[in-house]
Structures are given as C-alpha cells and as structure tokens.
C-alpha cells in the first residue's frame, strides 16, 4: 500500500528559493528544517543534518557524480534516495519534491494511529 503524502508548499517558484552558490538551500516545511539541492534541472529535498555527525548538509557540495557530500567527514549520499555511497552505511532521509504552476512542494508521509 502506497503511503499518503501531505504536500507542503515551500515556494511559488524555484527562483524564489534562496539558493547558495553550491546550488543548495535551507528551507522549513511542516515544522522541519530541510536541505534542498538543485541538480540537473531537478529539485531534491533531504535531511538538514548528516546522519553521522550532524554536519549541515547545505554547507557541503554536490560532487561531479551527483552525490551530496557532507562538509564534516565527506560522507557521500545518493541525492535521489539518500543511500550512502562512500561505504559507511548511513542513510540520509529524503523527501519527494513536486513542481507545478502553483508552486514547489515537499511531500511528507501522513502519520495516523489508524494507518496500517
């Protein structure tokens, strides 16, 4: 069964987002601080901090292979699914992003006592 998503609008347009020179931004949505990355004409959303030592992911960079790199210890994660690609075994939480004529949205899984 596919999880229901609650879509939270973060901007009216991609240009409205405060992108840093490294093509990343910090946003707040649904009470959570998240990192956005703009890579190959797509927007990706993932955790604000690295799961290893809490490095601020937006202070890192996207390498030539399209992996997001933590600024503290250079752990690398697949930007699409958060899989650790440098071998340490950590997982970076990711969130779906959608864009349409009404804005840019991040999807959050609905949690309910009655979800099975």
Instruction: Round to whole Å and give the CA distance between 89 and 36.
Output: 22
Structural tokens at position 12: 């009216």
Q: What is the pTM of this model?
A: 0.90
The whole-number pLDDT of residue 46 equals: 98
Compute the average pLDDT of residues 91-109: 96
Q: Does 16 have pLDDT greater than 50?
A: yes
Q: pLDDT tens digits, residue range 22-55?
A: 999 999 999 999 999 999 999 999 999 999 999 9
Q: Give the count of alpha carbons within 13 A of 101, CB side only.
A: 0
Of 11, 38, 25, give the one whose Cα is nearest residue 100.
11
Task: Decide if 89 contacts 75 (C-beta within 8 A).
Answer: no
pLDDT band of 113, cuts 50, 70, 90: low
| H or E element, residue 104 | strand 103-109
Instruction: Round to whole Å and give the CA distance between 104 and 12.
Output: 6
Q: pLDDT tens digits, residue range 50-99?
A: 999 999 999 999 999 999 999 999 999 999 999 999 999 999 999 999 99
Share of the chain above pLDDT 90, in %: 90
Of 4, 2, 5, 3, give the one whose Cα is nearest residue 107.
5
Domains in the chain, start-ordered, CATH in brackets?
5-109 (2.102.10.10)
């Amino acid at each position: 069964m596919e999880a229901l998503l609650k879509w939270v609008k973060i901007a009216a347009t991609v240009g409205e987002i405060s992108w840093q020179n490294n093509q990343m931004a910090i946003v707040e949505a649904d009470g959570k601080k998240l990192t956005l990355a703009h890579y190959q004409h797509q927007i990706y959303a993932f955790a604000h901090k690295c799961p290893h030592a809490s490095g601020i992911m937006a202070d890192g960079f996207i390498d030539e292979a399209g992996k997001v790199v933590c600024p503290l210890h250079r752990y690398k994660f697949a930007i699409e699914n958060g899989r650790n690609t440098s071998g340490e075994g950590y997982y970076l939480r990711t969130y779906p992003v959608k864009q349409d004529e009404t804005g840019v949205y991040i999807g959050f899984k609905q949690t309910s006592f009655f979800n099975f």
